[in-house]
Chain A
Amino acid sequence: MGLKRNTWLAIGALLVAGGMLAVVALGGIGQNLVYYWTPTEMLAQGGKAYGATIRLGGLVQPGSINWDARHTELTFRVASDPNPNSPSVLVKARETPPQMFREGIGIVVEGTFDRSQVFTSNRLMVKHSNEYRPPKPGEGDHWKETLSSESPPSARAK
């Protein structure tokens, strides 16, 4: 029954290899998860949010944009909703703001949040409206869509 034993050995080896692959893959996924949060949701996570890769979606808070063209430094605040008192997060990006970037527009930034309460973005995506139609007044209100529809990445993290 040499063949039989070999077959079982082969099956056993495959199972072990498959199991190892699954463990490695799941570990890899765990380390590379990207969370989709609004500022409110992210702040609610407390310390758990620090260091994780986050795709933060919200609105560019009016009056918060600061663009230093000489050093390619962009800072602004991302707010959960248009209410001026809504929770917001300071975002720093070393990137030229894209054409559509302006106050009140929906935006998604990908990066990390740290203890100094600064969100460092390495990828900035202005929310392209999902529907293809003329803009309506109050378009920016649909900030939830910002999270649910991602525009083509405008610039890739290096």
Chain B
Amino acid sequence: MKGTLGYAFVLGGLLCAVFGAVVGIEGGLRRRSATRAWVERAATGFFLCMLGANLTMVWALVAHDFSVHYVSQVGSRATPLVYTVVSLWSALEGSILFWGAILGVYLFAFARAQARVGDRTVQLALGAMLGAATFFAFLIAGPANPFSAVAPVPPDGPGPNPLLQNHVLMVIHPPMLYCGYVGMTVPFGIAVAALLDGRLGEAWLVRLRRWTLVAWTFLTVGIILGSWWAYAVLGWGGYWAWDPVENASFLPWLTATAFLHSTMVQERRRILKLWTLSLALGSFALTVLGTFMTRSGIFNSVHSFTQSDIGPTFLVFLAVVVAVSIALLAVRGPQLAAEDELPGVASRETAILVNNLLFAALTFTVLLGTVFPLLREAFSGVRVSVGAPYFNRMAVPLGIAILFLMGVGPSLPWGRAEADVWRRQFLIPAGIGLAVLVACLGAGLRGWGPLTVFALAGFAGTVTLRELLLPVWVRMREKGEKPWTSLARSAARSRRRTGGYLVHLAMVLVFVAIAASSSYVQHTTGTLAPGETLTLGGYTVRFLGLQEGAEPHRRWVAARVEVTRPGAGRTLAPRMNFYERSTDPVGSPAVGSTAFEDIYLTLLAFGQDARGGTASFNVWTFPLVGWIWWSIPLFVLGALVAAWPQRRAVSALEGERAKASADAARGTA
């Protein structure tokens, strides 16, 4: 019954999507504004149907209705309620169903947000997005139908993959990532609409930027949470392995980040239009490619679900997306010509252009390394993978160059710069960068890679802080405001600028954390009897003994360990979980975090010998690794500040004025 109900919702959603896509694009092209109401209704209909289908699935999961195919795959009576609900997105079909729900929410939100805009591009954009929705609804209705009936009805199911019910991060990481992925549909729709419409003015740009920022924020948080999940759950002692599935989320992030920068140049100079639109379209194409790689089972990794036959469907959709994008860009190419030229080498515009080239190069190298095994296997039948050293070798120099630009770009003014002005701009930050380098060397740190990153982080961090705080200081001096008032007002007056620099600050933190944790990691392994110890980097690890326990859905064996170092001690318990229906134990690492370092323990094996119960451990120390995930609030704050709707005309003017006075102050400083 629930299966039939759910499937009816899916078919309803498919109908709404097809109808809305056809009417939206057709009506939009023929300038029939009367049809717009119908497109909006179709979007709402799609939203409601997808919501209904998802709620039905959750109902079936919670009620343990094993006659529904998907429930029989991932449900189990022993699974705790929260993981039962979460199993909605823990396997292939459910995750695509969930994808549909998020797409519905985005469509609904976009239609509501643009309700007062009487522009036909809105109708076209909704049509294009419903076109994408058609594909996903088709996928749910056909190749990845989660609602098909199972006969005979099994008494119980296997429960979700144990790796996916081991940590609470599983509850929030996938939805965040999906919100990021699916969110790229909106910029795609807007870009397609602008190109179809042919009036390539500025109105679409504001929308495009804001919706890309929404998707970008979710994607950023999703990626970081994903690496945190990998770190806290998988227990291999790391957070990023250049796994195809990780790369799949990283690629659209790169192009979306490039887009958010190039859009500023386009706004000021009216150049890079073609490029900016290509980035928006490319980000969506890359999310589709990423979904294809994640969902089709073409790669085998922890995240990808079992083999399925949805691969070809995805490839067809990807081909359509790419073909439509290229065709539209080709047709409208002449209208996208630059209306101006770069003002000079030492300008903000040039810095952003170089930034975009670096992001493009990074996208290219990561994409190449990710799809190379597929191409190689397709053409020569040889199974290979591209090792992490390739990615590190390519990404580290590019990443360092990007960090350097984070200091250079904001120091350069828009337009042509007077040489002596910008030289003075660089003096203090460069000095601080050097001071950081000297301090690190003095502290005994070695290795050109991390030291370069720390020095550049000092440089870029100083520039960012100066750009954030200088306007505040100017206000305090000129208007006699209190620091907090001044900070709030200056942020409110130039939100995008403030938000952008907050995000830069978070990014600097991430750079430092990655450099420190990957360069100064320490590792040891050993087998201990109770009372025996092992030392690593100032820590003493003492094995206290084994402990056993049981929960409804699993048994576990934990090794109690006392970790001490001068001035501090704590007890940790890495463990191994045995799920009733799994053949293999699933380890849970134990992490002792401090502000500056994590100690990370995994239980490799345990057993009996003459000395009693022994346990084998892998032990790592990761300096600063926590900073990666602690940067999330800063990212979110920055994005919120930047994306918050503002009364445009007034505040833009005020923002300019504040900037002008800041520039003036800089001239006198």
Query: Interface of A with B (CB < 8 Å)?
Result: 3, 14, 17-18, 21-22, 24-26, 28-29, 31-36, 53, 55, 69, 72, 95-101, 126, 128-135, 139, 147-156, 158
Inter-subunit contact B236/A29 (CB<8 Å): no
Digit string of B365-404 for contact with A (CB within 8 Å is 1, else 0)?
1001100100000000011111111100110000000000
Query: Given A129-B584, A158-B523 in contact, is the A29-B368 Cβ separation under 8 Å?
Result: yes
Of B47-55, B60-68, B299-307, B459-467, the one with at least 4 CB within 8 A of chain A: B299-307
Digit string of B349-379 for contact with A (CB within 8 Å is 1, else 0)?
0000000010001001100110010000000
Query: Given A95-B525, A156-B237 in contact, is the A29-B369 Cβ separation under 8 Å?
Result: yes
* B440 on the A face (CB < 8 A): no
Main SS class of interface, B:
mixed
* B605 on the A face (CB < 8 A): yes
Q: How far is the CA of A31 from the CA of B394 in the complex (A)?
A: 12
Inter-subunit contact A33/B387 (CB<8 Å): yes
Of B30-38, B156-164, B427-435, B548-556, the one with at least 4 CB within 8 A of chain A: B156-164
* B235 on the A face (CB < 8 A): yes
* B485 on the A face (CB < 8 A): no
Q: How far is the CA of A101 from the CA of B604 in the complex (A)?
A: 10
Min CB–CB distance A55 → chain B (angstroms): 7
Inter-subunit contact B584/A155 (CB<8 Å): no
Identity of the chain B residue whose Cβ is nearest the Cβ of A99 in the assembled complex: B605
Min CB–CB distance B589 → chain A (angstroms): 11
Inter-subunit contact B300/A99 (CB<8 Å): no
* B420 on the A face (CB < 8 A): no
Inter-subunit contact A155/B525 (CB<8 Å): yes
Of B108-116, B575-583, B629-637, the one with at least 4 CB within 8 A of chain A: B575-583
Inter-subunit contact B300/A133 (CB<8 Å): no
Identity of the chain B residue whose Cβ is nearest the Cβ of A31 in the assembled complex: B390
Chain B CB within 10 Å, residue with most, of A98, A148, A151: A98
Q: How far is the CA of A111 from the CA of B389 in the complex (A)?
A: 14
Chain A CB within 10 Å, residue with most, of B159, B237, B361, B383: B383
30 pairs across A/B with beta carbons < 8 Å?
A25-B368, A25-B369, A29-B386, A31-B390, A33-B384, A33-B387, A34-B385, A35-B383, A36-B383, A55-B385, A72-B527, A96-B525, A96-B527, A98-B605, A99-B605, A101-B605, A128-B583, A129-B582, A130-B306, A132-B161, A132-B581, A133-B583, A148-B300, A153-B234, A154-B236, A154-B604, A155-B525, A155-B604, A155-B618, A156-B237
Identity of the chain B residue whose Cβ is nearest the Cβ of A94 in the assembled complex: B525
CB-CB < 8 A to B161: which residues of A? 132
Tally of contact residues, B, Cβ under 8 A: 51
Inter-subunit contact B605/A150 (CB<8 Å): no
Q: How far is the CA of A25 from the CA of B159 in the complex (A)?
A: 42
Closest 8 CB pairs of A and B: A32-B390, A36-B383, A32-B387, A96-B616, A99-B605, A153-B236, A135-B583, A152-B234
Identity of the chain B residue whose Cβ is nearest the Cβ of A125 in the assembled complex: B236
CB-CB < 8 A to A135: which residues of B? 583
Inter-subunit contact A21/B364 (CB<8 Å): yes
Inter-subunit contact B585/A99 (CB<8 Å): yes
Q: In the complex, which of the residues A17, A29, A130, A158 contacts B390, with contact meaning CB atoms closer than 8 Å?
A: A29
CB-CB < 8 A to B106: which residues of A? none
Q: How far is the CA of A77 from the CA of B389 in the complex (A)?
A: 28
Inter-subunit contact B384/A36 (CB<8 Å): yes
Identity of the chain A residue whose Cβ is nearest the Cβ of B386 in the assembled complex: A29
* B606 on the A face (CB < 8 A): yes
CB-CB < 8 A to B301: which residues of A? 150
Q: How far is the CA of A101 from the CA of B605 in the complex (A)?
A: 9
Q: How far is the CA of A126 from the CA of B365 in the complex (A)?
A: 31
Q: How far is the CA of A132 from the CA of B361 in the complex (A)?
A: 40
* B15 on the A face (CB < 8 A): no
Q: How far is the CA of A126 from the CA of B587 in the complex (A)?
A: 13
Chain B CB within 10 Å, residue with most, of A131, A148, A152: A152
Question: Apart from A133-B581, A155-B236, what 17 extra A-B contacts exist at CB < 8 Å?
Answer: A25-B365, A29-B386, A32-B388, A72-B527, A96-B525, A96-B526, A96-B604, A98-B604, A100-B585, A128-B583, A131-B306, A139-B583, A151-B302, A153-B236, A153-B241, A156-B236, A158-B523
Inter-subunit contact B394/A28 (CB<8 Å): yes
Min CB–CB distance A44 → chain B (angstroms): 13
Q: How far is the CA of A126 from the CA of B389 in the complex (A)?
A: 23
Digit string of B318-343 for contact with A (CB within 8 Å is 1, else 0)?
00000000000000000000000100
CB-CB < 8 A to B413: which residues of A? none
Q: How far is the CA of A29 from the CA of B387 in the complex (A)?
A: 8
- List B196-248 residues whose CB lies under 8 Å from chain A: 234-238, 241
Q: How far is the CA of A26 from the CA of B365 in the complex (A)?
A: 9
Q: How far is the CA of A33 from the CA of B525 in the complex (A)?
A: 28
Min CB–CB distance B278 → chain A (angstroms): 14
